[in-house]
Amino acid sequence: AIQMTQSPSSLSASVGDRVTITCRASQDIRNELAWYQQKPGTAPKHLIFAASILQSGVPLRFSGSGSGTDFTLTISSLQPEDFATYYCLQDYNYPRTFGQGTKVEIK
């Protein structure tokens, strides 16, 4: 199975900060990567697919980039509602695999 490694595991940031989360795949997955946001006690929310395409309704401060093995999720100006845990997910092959998550906390 393809291993997905996110970094950092957690970070502290302030409202208005630019935040970048990275995800590395153990093999080339082209651009077949998605990002999800999860808040405590709720189901994940889909943010980005095909590494860089924003799901409908997702704020433009979110962006994704990368291809091959290295990917990033960037929040250009962190808002109070963005404090959550973020997961990458490869959909290049089966079984689908998630990264371990990155928790974004309030500084």
Partner 1 sequence: EVQVVESGGDLVQPGESLRLSCEASGFTFNSFWMTWVRQIPGKGLEWVANINQDGSVQNYVDSVKGRFTISRDNVKNSVYLQMTSLRVEDTAVYFCARDSTYRENSRYYDRFDFWGQGTLVTVSS
List residues binding partner 1 (CB under 8 A): 1, 30, 32, 34, 36, 38, 42-46, 49-50, 53, 55, 87, 89, 91, 94-101
Query: Considering the complex, what minimum distance in angstroms separates the CB of residue 32 from partner 1?
Result: 6
Of 20 and 101, which has the nearer Cβ to partner 1?
A: 101
Of 5 and 69, the one with the shorter C-beta distance to partner 1 is 5
Identify which of residues 17 and 31 has a Cβ nearer to partner 1 in the complex: 31
- Minimal distance in Å, beta carbon 101 to partner 1? 5
Sequence-separated (6 or more) residues with CB below 8 Å from residue 103: 9, 10, 11, 84, 85
Q: CB 14 → partner 1: shortest distance, Å? A: 25
- For 64, the token pair is 């994704």
